[in-house]
């Protein structure tokens, strides 16, 4: 089975090896690749909160085991992992490892060993660390690229001004800049100045400034995590959090359901297509925990210009 949207989707593997058992994790990666998907996203901290030891690394280990079990499959895949949000001490969730150069160097090698790969395709700064000077972060990450250990750098959950600062520093140092952002966004947005339950990254949301920044920097792309808001578009037992309750959401959900009904699709499928086909295009990270969920994402329909216009104009 091939899917038009599969090459644009990123398979999120957060709970592989913890909440999602090994057999299911392998089946999800098999199905995704068979459909034409090519990008796996993980982190060194996944999923410490679901592991009795309080330490992460299970997702990377599961991906590594799958790669070893499928000779030759590594070629053509993009493997992305992150550093910065592992607990500084296992079981203590009050302090994070951060982005100091020694942490980056040590944790990168641990990630690479768990994954069992020579080169990490995309290495992300997972969250801010203002205790470490940004020039030091840029130099440490740039060194990994210069030494051929990483192909590309990304940054997640940072304010736009810090991303631009880092890119300017990379130019001054002559090292690889960040060329990917990882933030959360969806078709509906929460009210301004509200806290979305479970989303504790202050600068983790795509904003109008983010859109403008992406539109004016052709070398940047955005990967969107939690694009389906934990299944809220399609599951009655998972309503949207209260912070999404405003007139704009009502109008957008009406337009979304109208387009979905016309296409015989689920609203969540249309959301994925809208993100991919929009300008700037977003790469949705799909964190499926079952083949049924993954198959639904892979079956997302292509939208016409008229459908896109209706979805865009609902505000």
pLDDT value of residue 17: 98
Q: Is the pLDDT of residue 232 over 80?
A: yes
6-313 CATH fold: TIM Barrel (3.20.20)
Q: What is the pLDDT of residues 136-164, one digit of tens each?
A: 999 999 999 999 999 999 999 999 999 99
Look at residue 125 and tell me whether its pLDDT is greater than 90. yes
Residue spans per domain, the chain: 6-313
Rounded to two decimals, what is the model's pTM? 0.97
| pLDDT at residue 82 in the model | 98
- Rounded distance between C-alpha atoms, residue 83 and residue 99, angstroms: 7
Instruction: State pLDDT tens for residues 50-101.
Output: 999 999 999 999 999 999 999 999 999 999 999 999 999 998 889 999 999 9
Q: 200 pLDDT exceeds 80?
A: no
Query: pLDDT at position 127, please?
Result: 95
Distance CA 54, CA 32 (A): 29
- Which residues have a Cβ under 8 Å from the Cβ of 185 and sit 6 or more positions away? 205, 206, 222, 224, 227, 275, 282
Q: Indicate the pLDDT class of residue 201, thresholds 50, 70 and 90.
A: confident
Token pair for 135: 């020039």
The pLDDT value recorded for residue 263 is 98
Per-residue pLDDT of 254-287, as tens digits, reads: 999 999 999 999 999 999 999 999 999 999 999 9
- pLDDT tens, position by position, 2-52: 899 999 999 999 999 999 999 999 999 999 999 999 999 999 999 999 999
Give 226-232's long-range contacts (Cβ < 8 A, gap of 24+). 226/184, 226/186, 226/199, 226/285, 226/287, 227/184, 227/185, 227/186, 227/271, 227/272, 227/275, 227/282, 227/284, 227/285, 227/286, 228/186, 228/268, 228/271, 228/272, 228/284, 228/286, 229/186, 229/188, 231/268
pLDDT of residue 198 exceeding 90, the answer is: no
Choice among 181-190, 197-206, 268-277 with the minimum mean pLDDT: 197-206
Mean pLDDT of 99-127: 98
Return the pLDDT at 234. Answer: 97
């Amino acid at each position: 089975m091939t899917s038009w949207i599969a090459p644009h989707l990123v398979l999120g593997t957060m709970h592989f090896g913890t909440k999602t058992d090994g057999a299911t994790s392998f089946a999800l990666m098999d199905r995704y690749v068979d459909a034409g998907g090519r990008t796996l996203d993980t982190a060194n901290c996944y999923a410490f909160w679901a592991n009795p030891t309080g330490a992460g690394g299970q997702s990377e280990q599961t991906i590594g085991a799958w790669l070893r079990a499928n000779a030759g499959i590594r070629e053509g895949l993009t493997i992305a992992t992150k550093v910065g949000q592992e607990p500084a001490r296992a079981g203590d969730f009050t302090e994070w490892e951060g982005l100091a150069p020694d942490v980056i160097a040590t944790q990168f090698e641990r990630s690479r060993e768990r994954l069992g790969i020579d080169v990490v395709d995309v290495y992300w700064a997972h969250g801010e660390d203002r205790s470490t000077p940004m020039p030091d972060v840029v130099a440490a990450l740039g060194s990994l690229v210069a030494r051929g250990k990483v192909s590309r750098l990304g940054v997640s959950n940072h304010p736009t001004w810090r991303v631009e600062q880092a890119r300017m520093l990379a130019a001054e140092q002559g090292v690889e800049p960040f060329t990917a952002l990882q933030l959360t966004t969806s078709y509906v947005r929460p009210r301004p100045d509200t806290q979305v339950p479970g989303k504790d990254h202050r600068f983790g949301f795509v904003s109008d400034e983010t859109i403008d920044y992406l539109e004016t920097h052709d070398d940047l792309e955005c990967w969107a995590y939690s694009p389906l808001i934990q299944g809220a578009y399609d599951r009655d037992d998972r309503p949207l959090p209260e912070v999404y309750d405003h007139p704009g959401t009502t109008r957008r959900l009406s337009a979304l359901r109208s387009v979905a009904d016309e296409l015989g699709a689920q609203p969540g499928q249309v959301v994925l297509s809208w993100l991919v086909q929009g300008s700037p295009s977003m790469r949705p990270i799909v964190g499926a925990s079952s083949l049924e969920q993954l198959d639904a994402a892979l079956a997302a329909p292509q939208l016409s210009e008229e459908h896109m216009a209706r979805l865009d104009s609902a505000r």
